[in-house]
Structure 1
Amino acid sequence: MNSHEDHLLFNAVFLLAIAVIAVAFSRRLSFPPILGYIAVGMIVGPHGFSLIENEENIALLAELGIVFLLFAIGLEFSINQMMAMRKLVFGMGSVQVLTTAVVVYFIGHLAGLDTNTNIVIASAFALSSTAIVIKQLVEQSEIQSRHGRSVLGILIFQDIMAIPLLILIPTLAMSSNEDGALAMAMTIAFLKGIFVVVIMHLIGRYLLRPLFHEVASAKSQELFTLTVLTVALGAAAFTEEMGLSMTLGAFLAGMMLSETEYRHQIESDIRPFQDILLGLFFVTVGMIISIDILSKYFLEVIGITIAIIIVKGVIIYFASRLFNKEPGVSARISLSLAQVGEFGLVLMTLAFTYNLMPQEEGNILLTAAVLSMAVAPFMVKFNGHIAKFLHRGTYAQSHETLAESIADQNKHISNHVILCGFGRVGQTVGRFLHNSNEIFTALDMDIKRVNEASSAGESVFYGDATKESILRAAGIERAKIVIITFSDYHASMKILLRIRQIDANIPILVRTLDDSHVNDFIEAGANEVIPDTFESSIMLSSHLLLMIGHPPSKVLRETRLIRRDRYRLLENFYPGVDDDPSNPLQSHQLMKGIIHSVPLNETDFAVNKLLKEIPLERWQVTADAIKRGHVRGENPSGETKLRIDDHIVLSGLPEDVAKAETYIRTGNQD
């Protein structure tokens, strides 16, 4: 192996090792992992401790990271969602991006930046961080709020702008040395871009869907993953051969596959490659940043960072007001988007590659962009508090008006049910209540759904159920029960805690997707928690028993017993080949515990002992049955004497069952 390969392998391993520490540290501080990767690049790069001699090796891997980033963004892009939100996307989105770009270009021109640098910076600074903003809004249960949907619409338009901007950078490089050639180069490049988009659309429609259908029918995970990698990298190579950015091809390939039924499988397959290589990309961004320049121009960098946030924030605020958003909502939108995004970093990095920006000025601007991303999670997290502070009167008045409207229409009802969430599950519950002549009031944050339902005569109101004023307006003091039907754990928990602050005694029923959060909800004050997975199993089993002739009274008794025991009968499963209890991803998604059969051999410690002499309760393990010969005895007595060839059926958490089996075999309790 030659020294070049030695350096590449050593550099990659060295970077990954430091990245593990940096990302773990970022998580502890609730910082985005992106910032951890950038910090690693600053430390090990040529402007830091120069621990990596040849950054070109890492840059090669980082380019693949950019390809996978754009491929993943394309997969997230939904044409149907875009059309459903077209007013927000093409209205607010276009106004925000174009106005920000023009204002930034004008400021750059006044500051004396050259044309190419100005165009790159204006394009990069007009975009915001999809990864940071969406993740934070989802965690805060604000993605379906008024400001959340507006933010999503603007981010979708920014993704659309990826296509012309990806064409723009190499075009500027081709025309930078020729006077008056920019317009011609731009025209040719955009004609090429249109041609590429049309070709990729035809390939996606007539080739990719049938190709993936054939690959999926082979039922080979290896073949499926290989096909995904081939499509992503093949599309990137195609656009690069056309003289355009290879990231454009990856983005278009992702877009084509986003409309197929294989989208989610492709996302899961590409995720490991994307995350690792994308981390290396952000490391190379950190390598570009000079600590010397940061210390030398510290005040300038801080000033530019503050300017980015203020300029973008003001533009987005007035764009929102232009589209009749309330002052408080407009403030929350602007606070959520007033930063430069990862795609802006991609554009600036490409500009360095094509020598479109001078190193010193470009480095100052890049550092300011990164710092704006560093404060983004906190601005999104506290957007509500800041908006209240900035618009004390109008913000409070807006909530009061909304609460008064709900209260006015609910003032004459009592002993009713409050539905938090009116999606498919909430609507089904509502129909059952209506058919049972029960009065209910529903709260939901999807304005379209609320308008549709309320115009049809349903008692549904637009309101955030995490707000005390909204819950009181819905008559929570007079209600007899509250049901939370959201599938989002964070949203349901916030609502549950808020209700318990208002009323410690009102019964609360919570719906959850699986059993992973049942105990959390119970501890937070829920009276009953209904996991979708268990209920579908119960209904399937009930229908089966009825169809094969079991008396309805017996079936009803069995289902009541399971529900009364909080689904404990269904908690544990026999693990299969694909179930790894030690895998933390599966341990909370697939099972709370396992069922395991322990056959007794003549040398085992437990032979000839009574079952009660085996301290299973020490590990919170239960003996569900003992199989002796062809007979299985359920719920065995503690007086049962264990014999050779008995099979003890144990259930509990995997590690606890393993400890119990060790004791049964050896008598060792450690």
Structure 2
Amino acid sequence: MEHAPAWLTNSLIYLSAAVIAVPLSRAIGLGSILGYLAAGIAIGPWGLGLVTNVEDILHFAEFGVVLMLFLIGLELEPRRLWSLRRPIFGWGSAQVLGCAVLLFAAGVAAGAPWRTSLVAALGLALSSTAIALQVMGERHLLPTSSGQAGFSILLFQDVAAIPILALIPLLGGVVDDGHAPGGPAWLEALRTVAVIGGIVLGGRLLLRPLLRIIARSRTQEIFTAAALLLVVAIAALMQMVGLSMALGAFLAGVLLAESEYRRELETDIEPFKGLLLGLFFIAVGMSIDFGVLARSPGTMALIVVALLALKAAVIWSIAGPMGIPAAERPVFTLLLAQGGEFAFVVFQAAAGARVFPAETSSLLIGAVAVSMLLTPLLLVLVDKFVLPRYSSGRRTLEEISTPQDAPVIIAGFGRYGQIIGRLLNAEGIRATVLDHDADMVEAARAFGYKVFYGDATRLDLLRTAGAETAHVLVVAVDDQEQSLRIIDLVREHFPHLELVARARDVTHWNALRDRGVVRVEREVFESSLRSGRTVLELLGHAPHEARRQAMRFRRHNLELFEKMYPHHRDRARMIAVVKAGRQQLEEQMARERAENEERKTKGDERMPGWDEGST
């Protein structure tokens, strides 16, 4: 009887460990990440010993982080990334340098050589992108101020890992003579610039036409393969010139953020990202060297405590100036205080360059892994004992779980959604109402409204809310980006739903029209128009005259919006259309005022009909 190949046996072990450990961990409230770490410890060299090739698995599983950065890049358009340049390079450098200085001082004070202290400080200053972004995504923190700040700092850390790795050969026994492994330093720099330039130009000029050609084949598996090939190729190019694979994937995602295939790419890559991230956390659990921990438990504990305490002090001190609300600072601080996956690479490179012995490298890697293992546990403690102090009496609500079958779904029950809900209720029409603001849900329930707590950007909650059988979805949420995510999700998975959307401004209105949503109402337009009528009446206009002028302005404004829409990406042309339309309206109304005055002077007080000019 033939033995099963190694890859099949290992796959069986990894999947079995994950399937057993993760549901148990979530069931007792510890989260999925801790479940993956525990699974890795259980099957690793210091557990049951079922898997021993930890390094190979860790290198492969790091591709999960690469896919995650690519998906994050898809959510960031270039102009939005440009708007984050200050927090990325400003606060990112403040966090890395501040943490590195304190950790370096602590290492020197403990009697470690300055080279060891410097490399250890730089490596420990980095945080886990995988864990931090995973937790932020699960808690819906990425759109918040703390989520944006954390993402900016983590992105800077990915960039900072490059010069840190370049510095290591200069500090160790392997001295750089000015030549890189692949040739002269200037040639390596030229290759680096060429690769980055190729990614940028290719993303702008080649990727979209290529994806369009592949999409025309109407073969889903080939599009999925093309999406994976894209990320793998860019990661390989970046590693070829010694740069971060994750950074290259993120850059490619940003370049495709405005592509019409963005959602398709996200849908295809998301399952692979989840599986590989889980494998990455399992590999981290397997990489914890409990032998080093057993030989030097005091030293290991001291490093972990110093790592978490000193980094937390720096991060907490910059959280205030960054404008992060007090209630979001504990989780923000804890997620960035842990060690990161890039530290594994830094310490392994330092041991190879003889900056410090392999024993020290194992000790530091173990400390980083333990800090990553402790973070989910500390998050549980923060949720239980720290965050309730900031909640100001807010209650934790259960998300919608019972399937609904109402013909209408209303996403968002603020001042806009409430009016629609009350009108439908008065007409005896059932509606399923979702809102992700716990305070709003509690307040609405106190007045007798049936409102469910849930995030309408989640596919599973939309299905539970009855999106597969409903006829109409009203998108009345406040946040513009959240509104557009809901629209994109519904267009892809529930194309039968009729959409009625709330637009906050012209930019939002255009974005909704780009997605094919035609039933769009600007939230303050009608009320502002009514106030304008009141002002005209107070200035002496007859009520019917004020109404006629307001209705004429309304009709003109709606027509002008339709004329502007084809040019909304061309600012100069759009401004010209607006100016011409405004001048036309002013001239038309001036002529009417002159005609009215002429009639009055002739003694003819008759005015145009009450409804003239209305729609």
Q: Same fold (TM over 0.5)?
A: yes
Query: For residues 383-394 of structure 1, what are the structure 2 equivalents within 5 Å?
Result: 383=382
Following superposition, the deviation at residue 227 of structure 1 comes to 0.9
For residue 10 of structure 1, report the CA deviation from its aligned partner: 2.3
Q: Matches of residues 258-657 of structure 1 in structure 2 within 5 Å?
A: 258-323=257-322, 330=329, 333-344=332-343, 358-377=357-376, 379-380=378-379, 383=382, 426=414, 428-429=416-417, 491-492=436-437, 495-497=440-442, 503=446, 505-507=447-449, 509=451, 513=456, 534-536=470-472
Q: Tell me, in whole angstroms, the C-alpha distance in 2 between the residues paired with 1:518 and 1:261.
A: 23
1:135 offset after TM fit, Å? Answer: 4.9
Match of 1:628 in 2: none
Q: Structure 2 matches for 1:84-233, cutoff 5 A?
A: 84-111=83-110, 118=117, 121-137=120-136, 148-166=144-162, 168-169=164-165, 172=168, 176-179=172-175, 181=177, 192-233=191-232
8 Å contact kept, 1:92–1:320: no
Stretches of structure 1 that go unaligned for 5 or more consecutive residues are 401-421, 437-482, 521-528, 540-570, 574-670
Which runs of 5 or more structure 2 residues have no equivalent in the other structure?
Answer: 394-409, 424-430, 476-493, 497-615
Q: Which residue type is aligned with residue 98 of structure 1?
A: L
User: Does the 8 Å contact 2:132/2:336 carry over to 1?
Assistant: yes
Q: Give me the whole-angstrom Cα distance separating, in 1, the residues matched to 2:47 and 2:303.
A: 22
Q: Relative to structure 2, which stretch is displaced further, 154-163 or 307-316?
A: 154-163
Supply the distance in 1 between the matched residues of 2:463 and 2:364 (Cα, whole angstroms): 48
In 2 relative to 1, CA 19–226 (structure 1 residues): closer, same or farther, beyond 3 Å?
same
Q: Please state how far the C-alpha of 1:259 moved relative to its aligned partner.
A: 4.2
Aligned match of 2:44:
45
Q: Which structure 2 residues correspond to residues 652-663 of structure 1 after superposition, within 5 A?
A: none
Q: Which has the higher contact order (CA 8 A, sep 6+)?
A: 2
CA gap of 1:247–1:158, structure 2 versus 1, over 3 A, is closer
Separation (CA, whole Å) in 1 of partners of 2:133 and 2:52: 37
Report how far residue 312 of structure 1 moved. Answer: 1.4
Residues 497/141 of structure 1: CA separation in 2 closer, same or farther (3 Å cut): farther
**CA distance 1:364–1:232, change in 2 (3 Å):** same
Report the Cα offset of residue 496 of structure 1: 2.6
Q: Report what 1:559 is aligned to.
A: none
* d(CA) in 2 for partners of 1:355, 1:35: 33
What CA distance in whole angstroms lies between the structure 2 residues aligned with 1:126 and 1:107? 13
Please identify, of 257-266 and 199-208, the stretch whose mean Cα deviation from structure 2 is larger. 257-266
| Contact map agreement 1:200 1:253 (CA 8 A) in 2 | yes
Q: What is the CA-CA distance between 1:485 and the residue it aligns to?
A: 7.6
> Shift in Å at residue 64 of structure 1?
4.5
Separation in structure 2 between the aligned mates of residue 538 and residue 154 of structure 1, nearest angstrom: 32
2: CA distance between counterparts of 1:66 and 1:432?
Answer: 43
CA distance in 2, matches of 1:164, 1:190: 17
Is 1:14 the counterpart of 2:13? The answer is yes
Distance 1:362 1:175, change over 3 A: closer
Query: Does the 8 A contact of 1:73 with 1:159 survive in 2?
Result: no
Structure 2 vs 1, CA of residues 92 and 221 (structure 1 numbering), >3 Å: closer, same or farther?
same
Alignment deviations for residues 194-242 of structure 1 (CA, whole Å, 9 cap, x no partner): 4432221111111112211221222211111111122222222223333
- How many pairs align? 449
What whole-Å deviation, never above 9, does each CA across 1:274-309 have from its counterpart, x for those lacking one?
Answer: 333343333333333222222333333333222222
Distance in 2 (CA, whole Å) between partners of 1:129 and 1:24 is 23
Task: Give the SS at the match of 1:534.
Answer: coil
Aligned to 2:488: none
What per-residue deviation string (whole Å, max 9, x for no partner) do you get for residues 487-524 of structure 1? 5xxx3456434765xx4x5445569749976999xxxx
Q: CA deviation at 1:56?
A: 6.0
| Closer, same or farther: CA 156–495 of 1 in aligned 2, 3 Å | same
Paired amino acid for 1:534:
A
Measure how far apart 1:311 and its partner are: 1.0
2:338 partner amino acid: Q
Measured at CA, do residues 380 and 101 of structure 1 come closer, stay the same or move farther in structure 2, by a change above 3 Å? same
Counterpart of 1:179, as a letter, is V
Using the alignment, how far apart are the partners of 1:362 and 1:235 within structure 2? 30
Summarize the Cα distance change of 1:30–1:180 in structure 2 as closer, same or farther, 3 Å threshold.
same
2: CA distance, partners of 1:208 / 1:367: 41
Query: Corresponding residue for 1:587?
Result: none
Q: If the length of structure 2 is used for normalisation, what is the TM-score?
A: 0.59
Say which is worse superposed, 22-31 or 119-128, in terms of deviation.
Answer: 119-128
In structure 2, the CA distance between the partners of 1:11 and 1:156, relative to structure 1 (3 Å rule), is: same
1:25 aligns with 2:19: no
CA distance in 1, matches of 2:47, 2:157: 34
Aligned partner of 2:97: which letter?
L
Q: CA RMSD in A?
A: 4.8
Quick one: distance in 2 between partners of 1:54 and 1:129?
22
Give SS of 2:320's match. helix
3-state DSSP class of the match of 2:472?
helix
Structure 2 equivalent of residue 453 of structure 1: none
* SS of alignment partner, residue 161 of structure 1: helix
SS in 2 for 1:340: coil
In structure 1, distance between residues paired with 2:56 and 2:129: 28
Counterpart amino acid of residue 228 in structure 2: L
Percentage of matched positions with identical amino acids: 30
Deviation at 1:359, TM superposition (A): 3.4
Deviates more, 1:276-285 or 1:108-117: 108-117
**d(CA) in 2 for partners of 1:67, 1:326:** 30
Q: Cα deviation per residue 1:450-479 (whole Å; 9 max; x = unaligned)?
A: xxxxxxxxxxxxxxxxxxxxxxxxxxxxxx
Change over 3 Å in CA distance of 1:77–1:383 after alignment to 2: farther
Which residue identity lines up with residue 38 of structure 1 in the other structure? L
Amino acid in the other structure paired with 1:96: Q
Contact 1:120 1:169 in 2 (8 A): no
**What is the CA–CA distance in structure 2 between the aligned matches of 1:2 and 1:120, rounded to whole Å?**
48
